[in-house]
């Protein structure tokens, strides 16, 4: 405990002192202090009665499950974002005015905020495992604020005594009906009689609340489902290609589109939507194929590692059995030369085991290297094929009937057309541009002959000042459309290539780490065996 009236901040010196004070006592404590206690291994920490104003420097306590910060002068909850394993937290008897900074404490089960200045229960949405909440002697005045706690389905004990809200006449009944899973309120059991009386009193209000919650839940579920689908589309690299998004984006960025739309008989690019949808469907099919390839690789990888480890384990088990018998035999030996000979034999057997284990690891590393190479070649070929299909680098068969399987991409198209590509989108845009030029030239002639219809004459005359003005507007529109298509194509190619590169980098890194760890395990084991043999050497 710090004997000072001055506000303090949690710092490294305070933390080290607290850990030492709460660590082992006596000789065990001396040893622990000499070896230096690792803060990342500390499970419980008391920082009460230390006049703490600000929480800080707790980032090293990643294993902490219980933290006591009561009876300080803390005004704001901060510095807890690294304590993701925290189960029990006491912040009572402080100067806290708002609940905040608890988002990372997803494992928290017991939270005490008693004797503070909190006026609203909020910002606890991530505490889904909360069992006990003590927030007595605060400034909670709104009984409706209790409804916020309905989202905590595991909440069993709640303490609100000493808040203005607890003096309301319907306090107990209100909480009993709106928190049906709550077992204890203010340290007293909520009995069935109280619940029945509360239900009779608030039945219609509760039914309306449940109805509204159900509607909100449906909206949230629909939103989550949509986000999950979009994430799947992102992972297939064809997000926002399952409709008119690319088409609409072309015109959204086209500053000349509105003026050009006044030209009579301007064709629409609706066919592009169908092409994008086909490309989208192709992307999903290709993603499923890649996912299956990745799964097959990791299954094969892990199976090879497990089989190798099984063989190595059997060798070690046999060796340990023989070693135990050898140690018993050596302990009974009286002849020094015989003992030395047996130690030499044991050393040779240990070296032989080392060679066998290292050979096994070498064989596994070679096997996995081949597996990784095959996978890298396969996944790279799959990605290259998809990119070529999307770009239209090589020709595909024409789909003659709706729903015909589209070799070699695996896309089941629903329209009679060539397999979808960005090249086709550009072709459509080029055709559209040529048609627009024809229409504009014909319209210019009508302007010259004063043959335009009255209702569109003013708008068209503003556009059709002369041939150069029209050509400039059409050219700018065309460039904008092509740029949008090119950018989306570049985005697809860049993202999928980055995915392959990142995946292979991770695989290679993990395999190197696995190999080094296994070799270190073998060396450590063999060194330990040799050390025990050396201890038996009479010389």
Write down the pLDDT at residue 446.
73
Write down the pLDDT at residue 530.
87
Residue 212's pLDDT band, with cuts at 50, 70 and 90, is confident
Tally of domains in the chain: 1
Kindly report the CATH number assigned to the domain that includes residue 468: 1.20.1230
Structure tokens at 40: 């990342």
Q: Is residue 130 part of a domain?
A: no
Long-range contacts, stretch 93-100, CB < 8 angstroms, 24+ apart: 94/69, 94/70, 98/122, 98/123, 99/123, 99/124, 100/76
Q: What are phi and psi of 53, to 5 degrees?
A: -100, -35
Q: What is the pLDDT of residues 248-307, one digit of tens each?
A: 888 888 888 777 777 777 767 777 888 888 889 989 999 999 999 999 999 999 999 999
Q: Which residue is listed with tokens 């159900």?
A: 214
> How far is C-alpha 430 from the chain's CA centre?
42
DSSP 8-state class, residue 167: G
> Which helix (H) or strand (E) covers residue 89, if one does?
strand 88-90
Per the prediction, the chain carries an average pLDDT of 84
Residue 5's pLDDT band, with cuts at 50, 70 and 90, is low
Write down the pLDDT at residue 214.
87
Bridge partners of 255, per DSSP, are none
Q: Are 406 and 520 in contact (CB under 8 A)?
A: no
Write down the pLDDT at residue 399.
33
Query: Between 4 and 406, whose confidence is greater?
Result: 4
Write down the pLDDT at residue 341.
82
Return the minimum-mean-pLDDT range out of 337-341, 348-352, 360-364, 506-510.
337-341
Mean pLDDT of 481-488: 92
Distance, CA of 116 to CA of 138 (rounded, Å)? 5
Query: Between 539 and 232, whose confidence is greater?
Result: 232
Highest average pLDDT, of 9-18, 25-34, 261-270, 502-511, comes from 502-511
Mean pLDDT of 351-359: 93
Q: What are phi and psi of 332, to 5 degrees?
A: -90, -10
Q: Is residue 22 part of a domain?
A: no
DSSP 8-state class, residue 131: -
Q: What is the pLDDT of residues 109-133, one digit of tens each?
A: 999 999 999 999 999 999 999 999 9
Q: What is the pLDDT of residues 26-54, one digit of tens each?
A: 444 444 454 456 788 899 999 999 999 99
Which residues span the domain enclosing 447? 262-535
Write down the pLDDT at residue 400.
32
Mean pLDDT of 73-79: 93
Write down the pLDDT at residue 36.
58
Produce one character per residue of 191-208: b if its CB has 16 or more CB atoms within 10 Å, e if not: eeebeeebeeebeeeeee
Write down the pLDDT at residue 462.
66
- Number of CB atoms found within 10 A of residue 44's CB: 12
188-189, strands of its sheet edge to edge: 44-46, 66-68, 88-90, 110-112, 132-134, 157-159, 184-185, 188-189
Q: Are 417 and 273 in contact (CB under 8 A)?
A: no
Write down the pLDDT at residue 345.
87
Write down the pLDDT at residue 141.
92
Write down the pLDDT at residue 419.
47
Residue 314's pLDDT band, with cuts at 50, 70 and 90, is very high
Secondary structure of residue 9 in the 3-state scheme? strand
Mean pLDDT of 389-412: 46
Residue 326, CA distances (Å) to 41, 331, 538 in order:
39, 9, 16
Mean pLDDT of 327-350: 82
Distance, CA of 409 to CA of 401 (rounded, Å)? 16
| Residue percentage of the chain with pLDDT more than 70 | 87
Q: Is residue 350 part of a domain?
A: yes
Write down the pLDDT at residue 537.
73
Write down the pLDDT at residue 315.
92
Check pLDDT > 60 for residue 97: yes
Check pLDDT > 90 for residue 508: yes
Q: Are 171 and 143 in contact (CB under 8 A)?
A: yes
Check pLDDT > 50 for residue 501: yes
Write down the pLDDT at residue 20.
80
Q: Is residue 311 part of a domain?
A: yes
447: which residues sit within 8 A by CB, 6+ positions away?
Answer: 460, 461, 464
Write down the pLDDT at residue 405.
33
Q: Is residue 306 part of a domain?
A: yes
Query: Between 192 and 108, whose confidence is greater?
Result: 108
Long-range contacts, stretch 166-173, CB < 8 angstroms, 24+ apart: 168/143, 170/143, 170/201, 171/143, 172/198, 173/197, 173/198, 173/201, 173/202
Check pLDDT > 90 for residue 94: yes
DSSP 8-state class, residue 32: H
Structure tokens at 201: 């009193």
Mean pLDDT of 191-217: 84
Check pLDDT > 80 for residue 1: no
Residue 406's pLDDT band, with cuts at 50, 70 and 90, is very low
What is the bridge-based pairing of β-strands 411-412 and 405-406?
Answer: antiparallel
Q: Is residue 1 part of a domain?
A: no
Check pLDDT > 60 for residue 412: no
Query: Between 105 and 462, whose confidence is greater?
Result: 105
Based on the number of CB atoms within 10 Å of its own CB, is 130 exposed (0-12), middle (13-18) or buried (19 or more)?
A: buried
Mean pLDDT of 415-431: 71
Q: Is residue 147 part of a domain?
A: no
Return the minimum-mean-pLDDT range out of 3-7, 233-237, 290-294, 514-518.
3-7
Check pLDDT > 80 for residue 466: no
Distance, CA of 480 to CA of 437 (rounded, Å)? 16
Write down the pLDDT at residue 416.
35
Q: Are 175 and 144 in contact (CB under 8 A)?
A: no
Q: Which residue is listed with tokens 């030209």?
A: 263
Q: Is residue 338 part of a domain?
A: yes
Structure tokens at 132: 């006990």
- Number of CB atoms found within 10 A of residue 95's CB: 13
């Amino acid at each position: 405990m710090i004997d000072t009236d001055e506000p303090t901040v949690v710092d490294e010196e305070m933390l080290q002192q607290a850990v030492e004070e709460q660590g082992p006592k006596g000789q065990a404590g001396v040893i622990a202090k000499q070896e230096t206690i690792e803060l990342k291994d500390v499970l419980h920490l008391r920082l009460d009665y230390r006049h703490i104003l600000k929480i800080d420097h707790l980032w090293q306590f990643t294993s902490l499950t219980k933290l006591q910060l009561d009876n300080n002068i803390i005004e704001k909850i901060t510095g807890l974002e690294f304590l993701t394993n925290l189960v029990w937290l006491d912040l009572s008897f402080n100067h806290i005015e708002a609940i905040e900074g608890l988002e990372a404490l997803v494992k928290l089960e017991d939270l005490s905020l008693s004797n503070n200045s909190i006026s609203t229960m909020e910002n606890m949405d991530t505490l889904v495992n909360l069992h006990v909440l003590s927030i007595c002697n605060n400034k909670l005045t709104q009984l409706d604020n209790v409804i916020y706690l309905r989202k905590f389905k595991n909440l069993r004990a709640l303490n609100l005594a000493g808040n203005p809200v607890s003096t309301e006449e319907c306090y107990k009944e209100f909480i009993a009906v709106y928190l049906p899973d709550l077992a204890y309120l203010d340290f007293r059991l909520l009995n069935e009689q109280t619940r029945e009386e509360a239900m009779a009193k608030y039945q219609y209000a509760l039914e309306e609340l449940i109805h509204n919650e159900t509607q909100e839940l449906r909206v949230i579920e629909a939103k989550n489902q949509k986000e999950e689908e979009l994430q799947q589309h992102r992972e297939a690299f064809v997000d926002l290609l399952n409709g008119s998004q690319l088409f609409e984006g072309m015109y959204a960025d086209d500053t000349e589109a509105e003026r050009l739309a006044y030209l009579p008989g301007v064709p629409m690019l609706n066919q592009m939507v169908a092409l994008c949808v086909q490309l989208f469907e192709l992307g999903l099919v290709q993603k499923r194929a890649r996912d299956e390839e990745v799964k097959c690789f990791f299954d094969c990888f892990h199976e090879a590692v497990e089989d190798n480890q099984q063989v190595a384990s059997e060798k070690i088990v046999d060796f340990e059995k023989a070693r135990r018998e050898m140690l018993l035999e050596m302990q009974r030996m009286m002849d020094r030369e015989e003992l030395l000979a047996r130690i030499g034999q044991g050393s040779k057997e240990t070296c032989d085991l080392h060679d066998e284990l290292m050979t096994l690891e070498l064989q596994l590393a070679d096997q996995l290297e081949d597996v990784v190479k095959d996978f890298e070649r396969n996944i790279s070929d799959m990605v290259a094929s998809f990119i070529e299909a999307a770009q239209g680098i090589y020709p595909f068969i024409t789909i003659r009937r709706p729903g015909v399987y589209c070799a070699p991409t695996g896309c089941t198209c629903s329209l009679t057309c060539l397999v979808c590509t960005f090249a086709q989108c550009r072709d459509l845009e080029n055709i559209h541009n040529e048609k627009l030029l024809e229409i504009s030239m014909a319209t210019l002639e009508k302007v010259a002959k004063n043959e335009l219809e009255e209702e569109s004459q003013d708008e068209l005359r503003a556009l059709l000042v002369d041939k150069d003005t029209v050509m400039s507007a059409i050219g700018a529109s065309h460039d904008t459309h092509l740029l949008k298509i090119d950018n989306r194509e570049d985005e697809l190619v860049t993202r999928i290539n980055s995915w392959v590169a990142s995946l292979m980098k991770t695989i290679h890194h993990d395999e190197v780490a696995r190999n080094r760890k296994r070799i270190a395990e073998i060396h450590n084991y063999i060194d330990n065996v040799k050390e025990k043999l050396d201890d038996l050497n009479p010389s």
